[in-house]
């Protein structure tokens, strides 16, 4: 019972001075057109938004469909309650506008989560046992995937072999990826499916581990892994839908009420649409089509059933900093003569923007290096001049910005869609890549905020865990999960928690271009709510990671996180 204290339902006639009116009366006395509050939240801190002058309110009232009816003093909200209203006593917990992850990849997260988790296994036999348990749930012949094994934690620290898997999996192909992604462990069926045998040469930059007679042991390193992945069958629609559903439940468990999927395929959009129409989306999805593929002609901006909206198209200006693909204006500091990859030129981005505009879709551009960001800005400027701006333009990541370009985002009304956790993941090597000057405007969310640009925060899941509290901690402290460095990494770019939360609510809502969502709990707006165990504005900075979601509300539906996350 204790666990559910925050969901205590106070029956209206006992707890409230309920307004007069028969049971089921739909309207408020004096204004039958205005819906009454079917749900009331009170008894804790309630933030309606995170602008500098926003103050918490005592109570929040939502209509049956989840629309905010009233937010303010408790007695005023109670005055508009339906006769049969349900009342949630927050019991000291904290309600806020629903948290949004403004950049992620739902299908990839689902694929990752389909894999058997092999972290913490004591030896190869235990890993094989876990794999066999999962295999028992799969259709005959289907590939089994797993990840997370680490032979350094096993007796003898030796790489495992295919026979250990063959013994429990028989002829089912299996690919188990090492914790770092740089090695895979296959059984004999998978080796055969990939066409790898004693006669297969090692590829450049990779290795097939072998016995003295040349036969593969079952472990492949680095570029040799491509031989398997290139031959994997594409997942069937049912598997893809299940991947999406699994990922969405995981995202909702994190306390999120909406995610922006930055790069869905037309096929996955169909599956999302099916889930939406079946009422199986546990949170809102704002979809951006993958602009590296031909855009479907029949897709236009707008809702695709409950909780799903197609908003835009995502293109790529450059690659990533870690793999040296980020396009920089000057050489990479640790590789003279190398400036990175121009994945799409300015004319290419403009053309993508034209195709997006023809469908009413917004353009989002992945840009990491300062030259990539400049190209994106130039493309947006040209589209603006041609009158082809649709929806809300956004630049994804914005990791390195040239000082001259800093004011251009605000001037062009472009949202900076950033992932604070990337900064603390990349900090061990990022400065070597860009050098001591450019690092000052790298992952520079504070400088961007002060330039007047709207920030929207996300995690780029599954690259990072879709953990909104890690985002808060990284944004506000620029420390990693271990609390390092103590003073924060380039702490001048720390944002206060209020501003970080604004980027995860109002900023994300603005970025989505949704006409309804405001990311604020204001009357007439969708009342997407995240309830946390504590007030993020009141906890010490080093406890932000420990915040936990109690429940979420979307469209008036309460959802508690599942205790066991599959």
Q: Is 318 in the site for Zn ion (CB under 5 A)?
A: no
Whichever of 316 and 490 has its CB closer to Zn ion, that residue is 316
Least separation in angstroms between CB 201 and Zn ion: 34
- Beta-carbon contacts of residue 127 (< 8 Å; ≥ 6 apart): 118, 121, 146, 149, 160, 176
- Interaction between residue 460 and Zn ion (CB under 5 A): yes
Which two three-digit tokens encode residue 539? 């906890």
Omega cis (within 30) before 332: no
Shortest CB 394 distance to Zn ion, Å: 12
Residue placing its CB nearer to Zn ion in the complex, 217 or 419: 419
Query: Under rule CB under 5 A, which residues in 19-58 are in contact with Zn ion?
Result: none
Name which of 271 and 460 has its Cβ closer to Zn ion.
Answer: 460
Q: Would you say 365 and 379 are in contact if contact means Cβ atoms under 8 Å apart?
A: yes
Q: Which stretch binds Zn ion (CB under 5 A): 250-258, 282-290, 456-464, 502-510?
A: 456-464
Closest CA to 394 of 241, 507, 273: 507
In DSSP notation, 440-458 reads GGBS-HHHHHHTTPPEEE-
Tell me the β-bridge partners of 184.
Answer: 177, 220
DSSP 257-294: EEEEEEEE-HHHHHHHHHHHHTT--SSEEEEEEETTSP
Q: How many Å separate Cα 558 from the centre of its chain?
A: 21
Kindly state the smallest distance separating residue 460's Cβ from Zn ion, in Å.
4
Which of residues 102 and 191 has its CB atom nearest to Zn ion in the complex?
102
| Candidate ranges 321-329, 453-461, 476-484, 487-495; the one touching Zn ion (CB under 5 A) | 453-461
- Among 87, 553, 104, 7, which Cα is nearest to 314's? 104
Candidates 11-19, 338-346, 455-463, 482-490 — which segment interacts with Zn ion by CB under 5 A? 455-463
Which residues from 484-503 bind Zn ion, rule CB under 5 A?
none
Q: How far is the CB of 461 from Zn ion (least distance, A)?
A: 8
Nearer to Zn ion, 28 or 418 (CB): 418
Parallel/antiparallel/unpaired status of strands 183-186 and 216-222: antiparallel
Indicate if the alpha-carbon torsion angle 222, 227, 230, 234 is positive or negative: negative
Work out how close the CB of 437 gets to Zn ion at its nearest, in angstroms, rounded to a whole number: 27
Q: Which stretch binds Zn ion (CB under 5 A): 49-57, 92-100, 114-122, 460-468?
A: 460-468
Nearer Cβ to Zn ion, position 184 or 475? 475
Q: How far is the CB of 101 from Zn ion (least distance, A)?
A: 11
Number of residues that bind Zn ion (CB under 5 A): 1
> In whole angstroms, how close is the CB of 478 to Zn ion at the nearest point?
21
Report in angstroms how near the CB of residue 263 gets to Zn ion at its nearest: 7
**Buried/exposed 119-131: b ≥16 CB within 10 Å, e otherwise:** eebebbeebbebb
Rounded to a whole number of angstroms, the minimum distance from the CB of residue 306 to Zn ion is 25
Which lies closer to Zn ion via its Cβ, residue 364 or residue 517? Answer: 364
- For residue 272, what are its two tokens? 């999302």
CB 220 within 8 A of CB 209: yes
Under rule CB under 5 A, residue 112 binds Zn ion: no
C-alpha distances in angstroms, 403 versus 373, 374, 442?
Answer: 11, 11, 11
Nearest residue to Zn ion by CB is 460
Taking contact as CB under 5 A, which single stretch among the options 18-26, 218-226, 454-462, 528-536 is the one that binds Zn ion? 454-462
Nearer to Zn ion, 218 or 466 (CB): 466
Looking at the Cβ atoms of 58 and 460, the one nearer to Zn ion is 460
Binding site for Zn ion (CB under 5 A): 460
């Amino acid at each position: 019972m204790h666990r559910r204290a925050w969901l205590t339902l106070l029956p209206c006639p006992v707890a409230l001075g309920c307004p007069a009116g028969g049971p089921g009366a739909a309207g408020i006395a004096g204004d039958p057109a205005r819906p009454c509050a079917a749900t009331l939240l009170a008894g804790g801190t309630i933030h309606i938004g995170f602008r500098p002058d926003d103050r918490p309110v005592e109570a929040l009232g939502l209509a049956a469909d989840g629309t905010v009816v009233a937010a303010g003093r408790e007695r005023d909200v109670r005055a508009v309650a339906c006769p049969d209203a349900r009342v949630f006593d927050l019991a000291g917990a904290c309600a806020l506008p629903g948290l949004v992850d403004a950049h992620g990849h739902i299908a990839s997260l689902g694929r990752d989560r389909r894999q058997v988790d092999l972290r913490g296994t004591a030896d190869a036999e235990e890993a094989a046992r876990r794999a066999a348990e999962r295999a028992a749930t799969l259709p005959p012949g289907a590939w089994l995937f797993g990840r997370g094994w680490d032979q350094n934690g096993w007796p003898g620290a030796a790489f495992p072999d295919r026979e250990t898997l063959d013994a429990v999996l028989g002829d089912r192909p299996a690919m188990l990826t090492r914790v770092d992604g740089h090695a895979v462990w296959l059984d004999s069926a998978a080796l055969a499916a990939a066409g790898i045998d004693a006669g297969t040469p090692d590829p450049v930059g990779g290795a097939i581990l072998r016995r003295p007679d040349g036969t593969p042991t079952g472990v492949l390193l680095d570029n040799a892994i491509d031989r398997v992945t290139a031959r994997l069958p594409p997942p069937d629609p049912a598997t893809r839908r299940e991947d999406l559903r699994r990922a969405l439940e995981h995202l909702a468990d994190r306390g999120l009420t909406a995610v922006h999927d930055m790069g869905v395929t037309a096929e996955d959009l169909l599956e999302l649409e099916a889930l939406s129409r079946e009422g199986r989306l546990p949170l809102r999805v704002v979809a951006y089509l993958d602009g590296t593929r031909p855009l479907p002609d029949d897709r236009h901006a707008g809702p695709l059933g409950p909780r799903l909206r197609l908003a835009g198209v995502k293109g790529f200006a450059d690659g990533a900093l870690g793999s040296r693909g980020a396009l920089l204006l000057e050489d990479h500091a640790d590789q003279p003569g190398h400036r990175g990859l121009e994945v799409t030129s300015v004319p290419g981005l403009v053309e993508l923007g034209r195709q997006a505009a023809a469908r009413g879709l917004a353009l989002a551009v992945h840009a990491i290096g300062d030259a990539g960001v400049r190209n994106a800005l130039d493309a947006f400027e040209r589209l603006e001049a041609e009158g082809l701006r649709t929806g809300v333009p956004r630049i994804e990541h914005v990791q390195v910005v040239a000082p001259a370009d800093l004011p251009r985002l605000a001037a062009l009304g472009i949202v900076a869609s950033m992932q604070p956790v990337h900064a603390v993941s990349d900090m061990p090597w990022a400065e070597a890549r860009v050098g001591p000057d450019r690092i000052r405007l790298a992952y520079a969310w504070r400088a961007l905020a002060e330039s007047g640009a709207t920030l929207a925060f996300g995690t780029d899941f599954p690259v990072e865990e879709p953990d909104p509290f890690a985002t808060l901690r990284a944004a506000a402290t620029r420390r990693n999960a271990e609390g390092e460095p103590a003073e924060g990494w380039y702490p001048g770019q720390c944002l206060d928690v209020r501003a970080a939360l604004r980027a995860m609510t109002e900023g994300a809502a603005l970025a989505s271009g949704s006409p309804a969502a405001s990311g604020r709990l204001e009357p007439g707006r969708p009342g997407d709510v995240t309830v946390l165990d504590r007030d993020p504005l009141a906890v010490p900075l080093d406890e932000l990671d420990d915040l936990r979601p109690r429940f979420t509300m979307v469209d008036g539906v309460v959802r508690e996180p599942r205790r066991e996350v599959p």
